[in-house]
Amino acid sequence: MYLVVGLGNPGKKYEYTRHNVGFILLNEFALKHNLQFKSKKNYQYVEGSLESSTFFLLKPTTYMNLSGIAVQEFLSYYKINLENMLVVFDDINLPFGTIRLRKSGSDGGHNGLRSIINNLGSNSFPRLRFGIGNKFNKGEMADYVLSKFSEDEMNILKEKTNFSIELIEKFIQGGYKLMTDYFSKNNLLEKK
């Protein structure tokens, strides 16, 4: 059983903002696979299957900085191993549209990821980091990540969304290794 967590903020106000890349990718994945999210107190989720793998998609509705509350609640109930959980989120440390995969690691300054790590007491879970760039002046990060995409960025986002969905599908079919193998085959793996 696999879990894919997309990070973002709930509500129309945040729908197509940079900080909501995780929600955007999960919404597009659900659309492709004809899945409908259901609402619980702290999250929206949907269950599905891909080939012989059962999976859940999870969007915390606790707002970004408290994402770990929803993730811990869900994991406690469904008893999913951390290596079978993929967290999808925006990353200002990567150029716009750049995708990086990590098996574990620090929060990299991302408050949603920090909340998950703190609530779970572990940073040993895979992530898909989607670059949103960092074209902002000092002290303007919050405004930048909560701003809407430009038209050019939307075009790049659409193109990169399809590849991101393929990566998520590979994760659900065979975990981190299958996903990274697929990533490498597409010549997109940028080693750190």
Q: Which residues are catalytic?
A: 19
* Residue 7 exposure: Cα atoms within 13 Å on the Cβ side: 29
CA–CA gap between residue 109 and residue 131 (Å, rounded): 14
**Lookup result for tokens 């750190």:** 192
What element of type H or E holds 81? none
16-30 burial, b at 16+ Cβ within 10 Å, e below that, comes to ebbbbbbbbbbbbbb
d(CA 104, CA 81): 14
Task: Please give the C-alpha separations between residue 124 and each of 52, 172, 184, 188, in angstroms, as whole numbers.
Answer: 25, 17, 21, 23
The sheet carrying 43-50 orders its strands as 38-39, 43-50, 53-60, 2-6, 85-91, 127-131, 99-102
